[in-house]
A and B are shown apart, each in its own frame.
Chain A
Amino acid sequence: MSLRRFVDKVKPSFEEGGKLHIFLAGFEAIETFFFVPNQVTKGRVHIKDANDMKRSLIIVLIAMVPALLFGIWNTGFHHFQALGIEAGFWEMVWFGFLKILPIIIVSYVVGLGIEIAFAQMRNEEVAEGYFVSGMLIPLVMPADVPLWMVAVATVFAVVIGKEVFGGTGMNILNPALVARAFLFFAYPSHMSGDKVWIAGLSDGTGIVDGYSGATILGQAASNTSNFLNGLGEAYTSMDMFLGTIPGSIGETSTLAILIGAAILILTGVASWKVIFSVFAGGAIMGLILNLFAVNEFMALPFWEHLLLGGFAFGAVFMATDPVTATQTEKGKWIYGFLIGFLAILIRVLNPAYPEGVMMAILLMNVFAPLIDYYIVEANIKKRLKRAKVVANQ
């Protein structure tokens, strides 16, 4: 294998004492991207499962592809709709592709650059965590987000959200949500409102008269019950499910997200307990609000809540991040449930911001260790009790 021979030839210059040693982490990242290393077991356990971190996280990336592809099409679709231009399928896809690709590139280049630099500084291998975060960040951005903002948010997310805690596996908050939250609080006008969700609408040239880019949640927050698209036609629940509505790039299509969820659950990479309980929590909160509805938003059918905004995306791709979720299996039920529950609560009852998923997940990220703490304490008490029972016999 000539590629292998080439790698073996250049490897020594990256190793300790080599000329290119300061690029070791980057070299290793690239080498292990191509080749699973030849490392062998040393201790008393002589065999290892064929699975590794790269594979697990690449599965998550694959699971995001349907949402990404839909987002690409949807970006083009809404753009041309806003311009009042009849466009073909591929035209929409091409437009969306050109719009979204730079966001992805910025996210990966900036994020991986920082990761590699930190890995080199710490003399560690580059961890694969950013495979996933690097795609999550673009998918939770509005299509019209300026690229420099993506870059700034990525720097903030990777450095403050992750590396200050010690890197992949050590962070408390989900880095992609940190990026989103950072932008939301630092540049609110670019992350909410009626214009940012549709490519070209902020700019405003050539837009059809009276076209509105308001999201359904934005409309719901102003207490109407007939949700209209930009052209003034009514949305159906099917639109919400399929995702032909405005929103962040990857979040609109519940169907595409559910395909991703199926991939994650079938491969066992993400915890189905978390996904299930987020949806359950959201449905129950929605039902409670329905019961005590005093306005239109509270009366929004509970199941439509699950189709709207970032709910499904958050449940499937954000809440399931094993690093920031609870680590005990029992805890996952509680953690997921509270995310869903709080997301809808915040969504409906807070006056400022018509979306609660981001806040709910970040909040539960912070509380996850506490949930684990009580579950582990219970285990400890059980063990102590067992010891006492024996002692009293």
Chain B
Amino acid sequence: MAEVIKIKKGLDIKMNGQAELIYVKAPRAKTYAIKPGDWHGLTPKIIPKLCDEVKVGTPIFYDKYHPEIKFCSPVSGILSSINRGERRRIIEVVVEDNGKDTAETFLQGDPSELKREQIVENLLNSGLWPTIKQRPYSTIAKTDGQPKSIFISAFDTSPLAPDFDFLLKDSEEDFQWGVNALKRLTEGKVHLNLDGRYPSVRTLSNIKGVEINRFSGPHPAGNVGVQIYNLDPINKGDVVWVVQPQDVVAIGRLFKTGKYDPSVVVALTGARVEKPQYYKTIRGTEVAPLLEKQLKEGTNRVISGNVLNGTSIDAGTGYVGFLDSQITVITEGNYYELFGWILPGFKKMSVSRSFASTWLTPNRKFDMDTNYHGGERAFVMTGEYEKVLPMDIYPMQLLKAILVNDIDKMEQLGIYELDEEDMALCEFVCTSKTPVTKILREGLKAMRKEMED
């Protein structure tokens, strides 16, 4: 067994509201939606007309610039609405469920006996292609060209992250099928990265045909970006593909059954949840049925994803993100705090040792809220980002290069290796409250435009 790769830098944010290891079947929602905003740089073109009938796996929109990339309905019913936001941008493509689950059929068969083109085509037709993201830029993988390797991170170190070992317990065989399909997509390796903190007998440790690696250490040890950095770093021109574990299972089921299986497990977590637990549900579900009788009184923020990388959604009308395995509910922190900047801070979470909590209760779990805890400032403190980014990258210098739109510098300083989630902790710890991830995304966008147009 390969040795465990130890990640030294980083930060585990200890929060209240870890999901208990219990499955609950989520009540069926009235509507399900796919949100084009879940993918960077995607311009959707709607296929059916409003009120047209769709089945499970019927394409409902495609990528305007890559028409072969389709996005399919997770349920059967009718296309009931297209919700638009500012400048008529499409926010949600909504399907009203008829509960019949009539499904389209796709190619079925052992991936090891299929041609690569057949596998690609099957993934494209079934709407599972968009589960494959590429680095750099974290956009949907391009359909032409091969990645130098494919990475699956089978554990998550983010705050309150779901336990993938529990979540994938009964899906090992499907996972293997999925891996078999992915293996055909690259001539390089498929890396399956497991949590090194646990003994070797874990759900996925018997998967064949992959390179199994183990990582341990604080968040972001579970981030695929950090894992790629350690195993097969991205240099200029390199492309690596990334798939999440539940999506590997879905891909496996597609080839095993010839059907698109939109079922997914989502952990409902956070201090504002009455009973944090796991829900068996369907991709793109309305969040309301899951939150029923689960929210505590007060102003809450519901996040599809985790607190370091998630989308804020409305508790009543919002939909869970296509690729998310977690929902987090925390307090909306829109309060004023008298002399907050000088109080000893017994109940506040900070990496700064100027807070009493870091000295007195280092293992305390916090509720956390969305307050900024201060105003935005110019860069002043140095050395903060480096402590939570386990890569040999100079984060502040990179951010400055992005702010002045210096493409060459961004490339030289290693922007290809980063995604927002990798720098989320930098944003969290920043004393100047710099919107680090937003700046990084601007940089990635500029870079992609420069390289691909």
Residues of A that sit less than 8 Å from B by CB? 1, 3-4, 32, 34-41, 43-56, 58-59, 125, 127-129, 166-170, 266-269, 271, 322-323, 325-329, 332, 372, 376, 379-380, 382-384, 386-387, 390-391
A140 vs chain B, min Cβ distance (A) = 21
Cα-based distance from A372 to B236 in the complex (angstroms)? 24
The 8 Å CB contact of B383, one of A55, A329, A376, A380, is A329
> Which has the most chain B C-beta neighbours within 10 Å: A41, A327, A376?
A41
> Which range contains the number of B residues in contact with the other chain?
35 or more
User: When the two chains form the complex, which single residue of A46, A49, A376 contacts B301, counting CB atoms closer than 8 Å?
Assistant: A46
Q: Are B373 and A46 in contact (CB under 8 A)?
A: no
List residues of chain A with CB within 8 A of the CB of B394: 328, 376, 379
- Of all chain B residues, which has the CB nearest A327? B382
Identify which of B235, B336, B438 gathers the most chain A CB atoms within 10 Å of its CB.
Answer: B336
Interchain CB contact (< 8 A) of B309 among A44, A266, A328: A44
Known contacts A52-B431, A56-B381, A267-B352; decide if A47 and B396 are in contact (CB<8 Å).
no
Q: Which residues of A contact B337 (CB under 8 A)?
A: 35-36
Stretch at the interface among B66-74, B139-147, B286-294, B338-346: B338-346
Q: A37-B374, A125-B376, A129-B380 are in contact. List 17 more A-B contacts (CB 8 A).
A: A34-B338, A35-B340, A36-B340, A38-B336, A44-B305, A44-B308, A44-B310, A44-B420, A46-B370, A47-B13, A47-B159, A49-B429, A49-B430, A49-B431, A54-B374, A267-B352, A327-B397
A313 smallest CB distance to B (angstroms): 21
Known: A35-B340, A48-B371, A169-B377. A56 touches B352 (CB 8 A): yes
Q: A40-B371, A53-B377, A168-B380 are in contact. Are A34 and B339 (CB under 8 A)?
A: yes
The residue in chain B whose Cβ has the minimal distance to the Cβ of A269 is: B354
Check B372 for interface membership: any CB of A closer than 8 A.
yes
Given A46-B330, A269-B354, A322-B380: A32 and B342 interface contact (C-beta under 8 Å): no
Query: A49 near B349 (CB under 8 angstroms)?
Result: yes
B198 within 8 A of A: no
Knowing A45-B308, A379-B392, say if A36 contacts B371 (CB, 8 Å): yes
Which B residues have a C-beta under 8 Å from some C-beta of A? 13, 159, 233, 235-236, 238, 301, 303, 305, 307-312, 328, 330, 332-342, 345, 348-355, 368-383, 386, 392-394, 396-397, 412-414, 420-421, 424, 427-433, 435-438
Chain A contacts of B355 at CB under 8 A?
50-51
Most buried by A among B303, B369, B377, B424: B377
Contacting pair A386 B233 (CB below 8 A): yes
Q: Are B311 and A36 in contact (CB under 8 A)?
A: no
Residues of the B chain whose Cβ atoms lie less than 8 Å from the Cβ of A384? 412
In the assembled complex, the Cα of A322 lies from the Cα of B384 at a distance in Å of 11
Q: How far is the CB of B406 from chain A (nearest CB, A)?
A: 12
Q: Would B396 and A55 count as touching, CB distance under 8 A? A: no
